[in-house]
């Protein structure tokens, strides 16, 4: 039962999880770029 629930739930949670991870990574990257840009400008 647990395996079946995991397989059926995975397609629903996986895209949202990937979106959250990508947003988090892009936000951290943007912060680093801003700090890097402030050093030169």
pLDDT tens-digit profile of 7-36? 555 555 567 777 888 898 899 888 888 888
DSSP class of residue 16?
H
Q: What is the pLDDT of residue 37?
A: 84
Tell me the CA distances in angstroms from 34 to 22, 24, 25, 26, one per residue in order: 18, 15, 14, 12
Gap between the Cα atoms of 20 and 17, Å rounded: 5
Higher-pLDDT residue of 5, 24: 24
Gap between the Cα atoms of 41 and 38, Å rounded: 5
Tell whether pTM > 0.95: no
Q: What is the pLDDT of residue 13?
A: 59
Residue 1, helix vs strand vs coil: coil
SS3 content of the chain, % helix, strand, coil (to 5): 95, 0, 5
Q: What is the pLDDT of residue 36?
A: 85
């Amino acid at each position: 039962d647990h395996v079946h629930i995991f397989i059926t739930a995975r397609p629903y949670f996986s895209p949202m999880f990937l979106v959250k991870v990508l947003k988090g990574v892009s936000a951290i990257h943007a912060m680093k770029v801003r700090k890097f840009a402030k050093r030169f400008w």
